[in-house]
């Protein structure tokens, strides 16, 4: 959440963001959304910045998934799902 908000604050051009964090039986879901200038995620991965790469590595470290939806002048949404350890162990033994 911190990295997504930092990136949004630095790059979106807006100062208002929507954050949603909720848990389920199986894990945690986070969404960070802005209505800013947006960007091309493929081009961002080719740049020298480490914001998106760092977020992806952190999420991967906890066996989670991340999706980034952004359009030029259409804002950005970062969604992260992280499974809970006991949910992973239960599904592995099933």
The domain that contains 76 carries what CATH number?
3.30.565.10
Q: Structurally, how many domains does the chain consist of?
A: 1
Q: Is 6 helix (H, G, I), strand (E, B) or coil?
A: helix
pLDDT in tens, 39-65: 887 776 666 667 788 899 999 999 999
74 part of a folded domain? yes
92 part of a folded domain? no
> Quick one: average pLDDT of 18-23?
96
94 part of a folded domain? no
- The whole domain housing 76 covers 2-86
Q: Is 79 helix (H, G, I), strand (E, B) or coil?
A: strand
- pLDDT-derived band at 70 (thresholds 50, 70, 90) equals very high
21 part of a folded domain? yes
Instruction: Please give, one letter per residue, the 3-state secondary structure of 50-70.
Output: CHHHHHHHHHHHCCCEEEEEE
44 part of a folded domain? yes
91 part of a folded domain? no
Sort strands 17-23 and 75-83 into parallel, antiparallel or unpaired.
Answer: unpaired
């Amino acid at each position: 959440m911190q990295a997504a908000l930092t990136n949004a604050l630095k790059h979106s051009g807006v100062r208002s963001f929507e954050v949603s964090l909720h848990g389920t039986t199986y894990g945690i879901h986070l969404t960070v959304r802005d209505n800013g200038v947006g960007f091309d995620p493929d081009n961002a991965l080719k740049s020298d910045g480490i914001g998106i790469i760092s977020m992806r590595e952190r999420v991967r470290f906890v066996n989670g998934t991340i999706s980034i939806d952004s359009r030029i002048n259409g804002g950005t949404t970062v969604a992260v799902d992280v499974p809970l350890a006991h949910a992973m162990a239960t599904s592995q033994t099933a």
